[in-house]
Structure 1
Amino acid sequence: MGDRTLIIYKVSKQKSANANSTFVKLDLAIMNASEKEIQNLPAFFQLIGLEGDIFSYQYNSTDTFYGSVAVHTTATGSIVFQLPTAAATGLNLLYRPEVAQETVIVPLTVT
């Protein structure tokens, strides 16, 4: 991606209180590699299931992760998605920032 780098440190799966849903937690960072401020918004992150289902409901996230990312700095944090347990395998992250050409799909290894 031209003005940013997406770094995924860890992806983990956790049981929720509801047996029909699972939490998938992503520990990640967005590094601003540009000469201007960039945005980092919840709408930029979605999970794609094995059968093409898209999950965007974020159950929880690090409070300071979202917002503006200053020039040459890095925002680090966690995002927790809640999705049906049956769909919690074979996941990909769809990262679609405000710059359409920087959209990427990243296969995730869930531990």
Structure 2
Amino acid sequence: MVDEFDVAQALRGGIPDRARAWAFVREFAAAWAEPLADNVGTRAEELERAEEMLGLTLPTALRAAYSLLGTRHDLTGNQDPMLRPSELFVHDEFGGVLV
């Protein structure tokens, strides 16, 4: 399966837009792990609870990442793991950075 996906070819010329970026993520996952299924993302209700807890709206790209990859810890839990929505916080010491 990996032989069919050429990362260099997929990234040649860059990734021009958000739709193509998420398509790349889907293609990469399918080639190197298991294909992304529609039921693996974080539920909207969980994202809304996190937003209420934080008192802010999650950035569009972060919300999309959770919606696509949410429960795929094989893809999000290695180096610099993606926190669960309930674990997100605002780091006040660094000017209110969302972590």
Normalised by the size of structure 2, how large is the TM-score? Answer: 0.28
Return the structure number with greater relative CO, CA threshold 8 A, min gap 6. Answer: 1
Q: Which structure is higher in strand share? A: 1
Q: Which has the larger radius of gyration?
A: 2
Normalised by the size of structure 1, how large is the TM-score? Answer: 0.26
Q: Which structure is higher in helix share? A: 2
